[in-house]
Structure 1
């Protein structure tokens, strides 16, 4: 056996990174605040922004995003938010080809 391999295997591997202390996560999160170097108008309007974002995030995030149009028809942002009876269960070969091509279309002659 080569001497370098013997010497390398004779010592235990010592990692180069050493973590100091035990991992400790803070018990509470910091209050939202603007960046210290943010423009003055953003710093002034930051409280209004956080109150608007908190009020818009208050409803359940998993709730369907639907809106009522003037005709009384309910529109869903994604098909899986709609009831399953409204889902289309069959996919044509043309649709499968379009999905597999990534949306690129090829001219057929």
Structure 2
């Protein structure tokens, strides 16, 4: 029995999250029937196909092949972690001001 690859495991996970059938996704991508299911056998996608699949599911190719556990390279967590403490404090103040303004707007009577 062939052990399931990280790629196939994550592909299945993304298919499940999409709430679409594998066949529907294959049709939308213009792939032949069972082309995604065939990755179960341990083969890896070509570079082009990897990028197409990653773009379809809005995840990074690195995530699909197991080079990172974060599905998006633009994750807010990663971006926030790159800030120094002063920048994080400024971000906190901006968020606080934004939320106060949103609360005020929500409390205004509609005209």
TM-score above 0.5:
no
Whichever of the two has the greater Rg, that structure is 1
- Choose between structure 1 and 2: higher helix proportion: 2
TM-score by length of 2: 0.29
Ranked by relative contact order (alpha carbons within 8 Å, sequence separation 6 or more), the top structure is 2
- Choose between structure 1 and 2: higher strand proportion: 1
